Amino acid sequence: MSSFIITSELGICAKQSVMVKFRGEAVNRQVHITYNSTYSVPVLWFNFYRRDGTPLSTSEVLEMSNNEDSMDITQYISLNEHPILGVLFYNIHPCKTKDIMNELTGKGNYIAKWLSVYGAPIGVLPPDALFTSKALSQRSEDASQSS
């Protein structure tokens, strides 16, 4: 698995690339997170590629994202030009994100909650450590000790 930040004059996005199984075949799942200034929310962009670099078809991507334990994203998913890379990527449209996130009450890491909702359909979940206050306070202590 590789994760890093892409920075360009068009913006910044977080990227993760990992191999996953699809119909017994190893495929590369690329996930990017950008910020949509119109809706003021993060946006999940993703694509799946075979080892030879060819992308999975839309029907295969929808099959990959058909997860009984998560929301049905087929009504929210679309194929659009990635705002930073300029190539076609699937994304979950951000129009309902603010409403959905407002329904999630309580304190906690916004990105962890958001990724739990929007990442789950394609198998991307936040690390458990993002949900524990102990892990968050430990990171704060580590940061203050190093400065």
- Please write the tens of the pLDDT for every residue from 26-37: 999 999 999 999
Identity at 143, one-letter amino acid code: A
C-alpha span between 70 and 65 (Å, rounded): 9
Residues spanned by the domain of 38: 2-146
The pTM for the full model equals 0.78
**Per-residue pLDDT reduced to its tens digit, 13-27:** 888 899 999 999 999
C-alpha span between 96 and 107 (Å, rounded): 20
Number of domains in the chain: 1
Q: What is the pLDDT of residue 142?
A: 47
Q: Which residues does 64 contact at the CB level (< 8 Å), separation at least 6?
A: 22, 48, 56, 122, 123
Average pLDDT, the chain: 81
Q: Tokens for 120? A: 């789950």
We report the CATH number of the domain holding residue 87 as 3.30.1460
Q: What is the three-class DSSP state of 19?
A: strand
Q: What is the pLDDT of residue 36?
A: 92
pLDDT higher than 90, residue 74: no
Q: Catalogue the active-site residues.
A: 95
Q: What is the pLDDT of residue 125?
A: 78
Q: Roughly how many angstroms between the first and final C-alpha of the chain, as a whole number?
A: 30
